[in-house]
Structure 1
Amino acid sequence: MAEADQHSNSSSEPLLPNMIEQEEKISQECRDIISSLPREEGWFHESIYLFQGFWEPAWLIQGALEFQKHFKPRDDDILLVTTPKSGTTWLKAILYATLNRSNFPPNSHNHPLLTNSPHMLLPYMEATHQGDRIDGMASPRLLFTHLPYSALPESVKHSSCKIVFLCRNPKDNFISLWHFANKIRPKTLGTLSLEEAFDKFCRGVSPVGPFWDHVLGYWLESLKRLEKVKFLKFEDVKDRPVATLKILAHFIGHSFSQEEEANGVIDNILSLCSFENLSNLKVNKEGELPDTNIATGAFFRRGQVGDSVNYLSSESIKKLDSIAGKKFGPYGLKF
């Protein structure tokens, strides 16, 4: 199990820096790079740029460059990767509770998840300066990124660290992303209409998108390297939570013992990390994430499968299904 100071790292430098402040600290090197990149209006930002095949704001491009150049992985690192709004908050909590269950039993009254947003417990690699803080984390380190596989540091690809990837049905992912964008967009950008967001998503202009390439990259790598990349779908985690958690724990090298299963540890983790429990905790519904301008409640909406039918026309559903079929079908990936 991870040592107790896995959690203590969350109390020093913020894991999610203020986006506005970060935009003001862009290095000249990064400014020179983005000056020649394709640009579009972002979902959360005034501008996003096509960098190494994916769309990001300038401050996350700078973070990605630092991550790529300087990160030194350990073989027992665990890197959680998600497409934005695919169940990120949920899986962060599940992985944290699973990895730290010896030091913080999931049914304890002082569990870190009761008083900390899951987003504050895992360093967000392209939004966090590495420094001594991450280097000083106890092993195994639980880390997080939204980067596509192609943009991960070469050091990560060639190490033995584990990668857990989570994605979601593109229709539900799109609707969740659209709602989230309108919760956190600066007022100066106005409301992002469903029609405009849909056009962007289909064209691939979405946060860390194209969504299609992001998902396919990890899918193909998981087929080639089963021991390194675990590919998960939000829908499967929802449908088979106990079985999925057991598989996940085994994959990261922290399987549940028969005694733990008999004592209800798995059920306790799933209860602690359930949408109902997390969304109703004071820390996840009042105020903002420390040192950010994001309301904690923005990360929780419905957490359901199939909600997109309440927003998308039959024509829009057919279009997304058609794109998914063309992009994923030849490789055996279905949602």
Structure 2
Amino acid sequence: MTKAMGLESELEGLDLKSERRPMLVEVEGVPLLREMEENWDQLKGFQARPDDLLICTYPKAGTTWMQEIVYMIQQGGDPQKYAQVPIYLRNPFIDLFPPEPVPSGLDVAAGMPSPRTIKSHLPIQLLPPSFWKQNCKIIYVARNAKDNAVSYFHFHRMNKFLPEPGTWEEFIEKYIAGGVTYGSWANHVRGWWEAKERHPILYIFYEDVKEDPAREIQKVAQFLGIELPEFVLNQIVQHTDFENMKTNPMTNYTTFSSDFLDQSISPFMRKGTVGNWKEHFTVAQSEQLDHVCAQLLKGSDLTFRTQL
């Protein structure tokens, strides 16, 4: 994990305060960060390995939560095995292309031994083809659009590698129109939902994990072919509780450069609830998003809960 460890040290010395916020450009019809477009051939050509596990989500849909659940399952529920390794060094984010000299997520992944657990936010049609050729297992986590939008808005506020979000009113208009990084939420969740009929994809709902974490963690373990004794399952449930992860420096990104993620603006792990959208959406905004999502998900049996 040499390159991954190098990422941490490089980030410490990187001054991002003077950097301008990035712009979005379209790649095959999907708005992505310009740095991704500039490195698109390299990303598209990423060479997956047969034993790679991919965790994919639309941004702010429980990615970090699932990364930690998976790692705890793989480690038999023992958090001491990685107590000094932040989550972003364990799971390379292949979509990440930070300024030099910080290595890209692709470089970090290339330097890691197998088996690897890899992170991405790419929609189904943009995923590097090698994941399909190698028949890699994929876990996809989906979160209801309204809570997702609120979380994504606050993430834009504190993440200096994303475009300025503007006001909530400005951001939600862009979100509803699919004009944010990684494009339309509805197209993203639907594309992966339909792909699970053709590929080894475990499709997990954020709200289900919140409702019954033990049940959903068992689903993940079974998908990975790992048996979890009850006491180990209970350890994982406790360790991956949102409030515990929020205070854990190995999962809350407080060890990451504050020039990159300014948690004085908004914490990386903010609420972790279902229904917080009610404190942000107007009735008109809620109805508008409902209408657009209904149109884009029409003909699909994919449904979401916006409260528990």
Please give the range of the TM-score, normalised by the shorter of the 2 chains: 0.7 to 0.9
Q: Normalising by structure 1, what TM-score? A: 0.78
1:252 aligns with 2:224: yes
1:317 aligns with 2:289: no
- Shift of residue 170 of structure 1? 0.3
Identify the match of residue 191 of structure 2 among 194, 213, 217: 217
Provide Cα deviations, 1:248-278, integer angstroms capped at 9, x if missing partner. Answer: 111123x224xx22xx101111211221111
Provide Cα deviations, 1:75-105, integer angstroms capped at 9, x if missing partner. Answer: 111001011111112111111221233xxx4
1:240 aligns with 2:212: yes
> Which amino acid letter does the alignment assign opposite residue 95 of structure 2?
E
> 2 CA distance for matches of 1:333 and 1:77?
27
The residue number in structure 1 matching 2:90 is 121
Name the SS for the 1:84 alignment partner: coil
> 1 CA distance for matches of 2:157 and 2:26?
22
- Shift of residue 154 of structure 1? 1.3
The residue number in structure 1 matching 2:275 is 306
> 2 CA distance for matches of 1:307 and 1:209?
22
The residue number in structure 1 matching 2:101 is none
> 1 CA distance for matches of 2:253 and 2:187?
35
- Shift of residue 204 of structure 1? 0.4
Identify the match of residue 208 of structure 1 among 182, 186, 199: 182
Unaligned runs of 5+ in 1: 25-43
The residue number in structure 1 matching 2:246 is 279
Unaligned runs of 5+ in 2: 97-103
Identity within the alignment, %:
24
> Which amino acid letter does the alignment assign opposite residue 50 of structure 2?
D
> Which amino acid letter does the alignment assign opposite residue 234 of structure 1?
Y
> Which amino acid letter does the alignment assign opposite residue 290 of structure 2?
D
Provide Cα deviations, 1:302-332, integer angstroms capped at 9, x if missing partner. Answer: 1000110111112211111111211113111
RMSD: 3.0
- Shift of residue 283 of structure 1? 5.0
**CA 1:252/1:65 → structure 2, altered by over 3 Å: closer, same or farther?**
farther
> 1 CA distance for matches of 2:10 and 2:193?
27
> Which amino acid letter does the alignment assign opposite residue 267 of structure 2?
A
Provide Cα deviations, 1:190-221, integer angstroms capped at 9, x if missing partner. Answer: 76201100110111011211212111110110
Q: Provide the aligned length of Structure 1 versus Structure 2.
A: 293
Q: Do 2:22 and 2:34's aligned partners in 1 also have CA atoms closer than 8 Å?
A: no
1:95 aligns with 2:66: no
> 2 CA distance for matches of 1:275 and 1:212?
25
Identify the match of residue 153 of structure 1 among 128, 133, 145: 128
Name the SS for the 1:153 alignment partner: coil
Q: How does 1:128-207 map to 2 (within 5 A)?
A: 128=104, 130-131=106-107, 134-185=109-160, 192-207=166-181
Q: Do 2:86 and 2:249's aligned partners in 1 also have CA atoms closer than 8 Å?
A: no
> 1 CA distance for matches of 2:23 and 2:289?
25
- Shift of residue 15 of structure 1? 11
1:49 aligns with 2:38: no
Q: Normalising by structure 2, what TM-score? A: 0.84
After TM superposition, the structure 1 stretch with the greater mean CA deviation from structure 2, 159-168 or 52-61, is 52-61
> Which amino acid letter does the alignment assign opposite residue 206 of structure 1?
V
